[in-house]
Amino acid sequence: MRILVVGGGAREHAIVHALSRSELRPEILAAPGNPGIASLARLEAVRADDVEALVTLAVERSVDLVIVGPEAPLVLGLADRLETAGIAVFGPTAAAARLEGSKAFAKDFMERHGIPTAAYRTFTSDRHAEAVDFVRNHGAPIVIKASGLAAGKGAVVCESVDDALRAVDAMLLDRSFGEAGDFVVVESFLRGEEASLFAVCDGERYVLLSSAQDHKRIGEDDTGPNTGGMGAYAPAPVATETVLEAARRRVIEPTLRGMRAEGAPYRGVLYVGLMIDGEDISVVEYNCRFGDPEAQVVLPLLASDPVELFHRAATGRLAGYEPRNGDGAAACVVLAAEGYPGPVSKGRPIAGLGSTRPHVAVYHAGTAIDGEGRTVTSGGRVLTVSASGSDLAEALDRAYEGVANLSFEGMQFRRDIGRKGLRRLGLAP
């Protein structure tokens, strides 16, 4: 089987790494890939958002399955074009990807189908005054979200009304998120602890992978601005069996029924950001792809063959299939460039990539090869160090041991990944 993986970040590196372990021994292509992926797959110089070029590549290379990593090509209709070309694709159509591509659509969808989520209102720039009045009347804390795609940074949790008004002005008037802020969702603040759920879907049926918990803020103790994610661990102890059963019944199943009823059956991975308060659950957001860095801990725990799982989902054959998640836990730590999540310095050599440790994997994201053949930094999130262990404590120890072997000028990372999980498990004060 020949598989094309679309994307070039650490998430896609983790996907390729998982596929490379398959007993089916697929031939793997990656577009555009990255220096880490190059050792496992053939790289193709096609951008992840160039839909027509990707379809042409898949047809010319006689690809059997396309796995789409990032959200942008899905929102642009890559899955639709591949299906028209007769190529199986793991990823939703543009109509189904609206669950992530438009937070306004997602909130309205949840309201239509009785799926628990925060109370909200949606505003456009010509209703700026209404948005200001709503925020003032609602009070803080309150959440302001750009409706469109914003690389995981479009949600602002505001602790004061003044902060919320500044966020509304930035999105609606200053266009801080560009077209992603054409619509702005203002919603009530949800209390609790957030976890990520991943349902692999074939349009009608689904199977659950491991839960996970991300760390969005740049600083320890969840301080500072939001990022694309600074680390994760799986499974998330807060996602108990009771919570998972409630999520199946109240979120995942009505979401799949609703998408079918609205003419957009969902295939691919449905990533649900869930707020958990005791046994009460609410949907924070939907995503139409694996999370990054969650993929770097969820996929290493998948004990079943990922090629079979993704191909079954892409071709509507999940009936009677149940994947196995391995025992133990996984954790990962993101190594970011100086300045991230703002402007960053690039071209700094990375030391230690040749070192290997058992149960540890290093996934590339913002890396490149310079004119001297060195691997250097080329983006905000540079590497993800992922490790597995018999429990969360061991996985975290191994991940941080892996971090200690790597360095580049200005490297920053959080030292408290997994602390909430350890506390819930009674393994930390």
Task: Say if residue 23 is in the same domain as residue 84.
Answer: yes
Distance between start and end Cα atoms, the chain: 49
pLDDT attached to residue 152: 66
Task: Say if residue 24 is in the same domain as residue 77.
Answer: yes
Task: Say if residue 90 is in the same domain as residue 125.
Answer: no
Q: Which of 230-244, 255-269, 350-364 has the lowest mean pLDDT?
A: 350-364
Name, in order, each residue with C-beta under 8 angstroms of 39's C-beta and a sequence gap of 6 or more. none
Task: Say if residue 78 is in the same domain as residue 137.
Answer: no
149: nearest Cα among 48, 256, 74 = 74
Question: Three-state SS across 320-334?
Answer: CCCCCECCCEEEEEE
Query: Does a structural domain hold residue 165?
Result: yes
Cα(82)–Cα(119) distance, integer angstroms: 37
> How big is the CA angle at 37 (ends 388 and 404), to the nearest 5 degrees?
45
Query: Does a structural domain hold residue 262?
Result: no
Task: Say if residue 14 is in the same domain as residue 77.
Answer: yes
Last residue of a domain, one of 188, 209, 241: 188
Query: Does a structural domain hold residue 37?
Result: yes
Last residue of a domain, one of 60, 94, 128: 94
- State the alpha helices, DSSP H only, in 50-142: 51-60, 72-75, 78-84, 94-101, 103-112, 128-138
Task: Say if residue 87 is in the same domain as residue 31.
Answer: yes
Identify the CATH number of the domain in which residue 28 sits. Answer: 3.40.50.20
- What digits encode the pLDDT tens for the residues 308-353? 999 999 999 999 999 999 999 999 999 999 999 999 999 999 999 9
Q: Which of 43-47, 68-72, 167-171 has the lowest mean pLDDT?
A: 167-171
Query: In degrees to the nearest 10, what's the CA dihedral of 384, 361, 421, 310?
Result: 90
Query: Does a structural domain hold residue 375?
Result: no
Asked if residue 151 has pLDDT above 80, the reply is no
Residue 67: domain span: 2-94
Q: How large is the average pLDDT for residues 59-83?
A: 98
Query: Does a structural domain hold residue 332?
Result: no
Task: Say if residue 89 is in the same domain as residue 134.
Answer: no
Query: Does a structural domain hold residue 29?
Result: yes
Asked if residue 429 has pLDDT above 80, the reply is no
Last residue of a domain, one of 139, 163, 188: 188
Q: Which of 41-55, 142-156, 198-212, 368-382 has the lowest mean pLDDT?
A: 142-156
Query: Does a structural domain hold residue 68?
Result: yes
Q: How large is the average pLDDT for residues 273-279?
A: 94
Asked if residue 377 has pLDDT above 70, the reply is yes
Task: Say if residue 19 is in the same domain as residue 83.
Answer: yes
Q: Which of 64-68, 353-357, 359-363 has the lowest mean pLDDT?
A: 353-357
Identify the CATH number of the domain in which residue 131 sits. Answer: 3.30.1490.20
Cα(380)–Cα(363) distance, integer angstroms: 14
Cα(277)–Cα(238) distance, integer angstroms: 9
The per-residue DSSP string of 372-423 comes to TS-EEE-SSEEEEEEEEESSHHHHHHHHHHHHHT-B-TT-B--S-TTHHHHH
Query: Does a structural domain hold residue 340?
Result: no
Number of domains forming the structure of the chain:
2
Q: What confidence category does residue 378 fall into, taking pLDDT thresholds of 50, 70 and 90?
A: very high
Q: How large is the average pLDDT for residues 73-85?
A: 98
Cα(116)–Cα(252) distance, integer angstroms: 11
pLDDT attached to residue 98: 97
Task: Say if residue 183 is in the same domain as residue 141.
Answer: yes
pTM above 0.85, yes or no: yes
